[in-house]
Amino acid sequence: MPNDNAPDQQLEHARTLIKMGQPEQDEWALSRDEQAMPSRRPVIVPFTLWQQLPGEEGLAPWLPSDTELDDTLAAALSAAPLVAIDFPAFTDGRGYTLARLLRERYGYGGEVRAIGDVLVDQLFYMTRCGFDALALREDQQLEDALRALGAFSVSYQPAVDMGEAIFERRLRENGHA
């Protein structure tokens, strides 16, 4: 069982958070300590800790990018108020797949949050894959991030945010589908 007397000084607090395309004050702290359960709530903790206290209010899991998502894990995550997915480096794209699987294959309806090495250049693509909350890396500017989210007005391929390709939509709108 996790140590409930862990010092809360190790928690990461309120990075710049964008939720549903808007800046928001983050009420969740983030703990990366895999051994000690923080006393503060609400808090995002490593999946292994979260699993030890199923259903506890004010707790949410974060998944490392190498998580293998299957039916059992997805069923457990369905009870979480949010699922954070860690990007250990901006070059690690496995988190995009995790978010898309959570949304499309497993129907997860809660918040899916990107944490870790989250850069402005990635935000538009993260939202297309199912992320609805983005915790920016400390050196990233909110104004740049908001501008990046609106950089593209049309997407050609289907994704979580738009289920049909642009050619399919045009055919349908012209009465050919």
pLDDT of residue 39: 87
- The pTM for the full model equals 0.83
- The partner residues of 83 in beta bridges, in order of sequence, read 112
Mean pLDDT of all residues in 11-25: 83
> Closest by alpha carbon to 162, among 85, 122, 82, 104?
104
pLDDT digit string (tens) for 96-119?
A: 999 999 999 999 999 999 999 999
pLDDT band at residue 149 under the 50/70/90 scheme = confident
Domain count, the chain: 1
Q: Which range marks the domain in which residue 121 is found?
A: 3-173
Task: Check if the beta carbon of residue 73 is closer than 8 Å to that of residue 67.
Answer: yes
**Mean per-residue pLDDT over the chain, rounded:** 86
Q: Could you tell me if residue 14 is left (phi over 0), alpha (psi between -120 and 50 degrees) or otherwise beta?
A: left
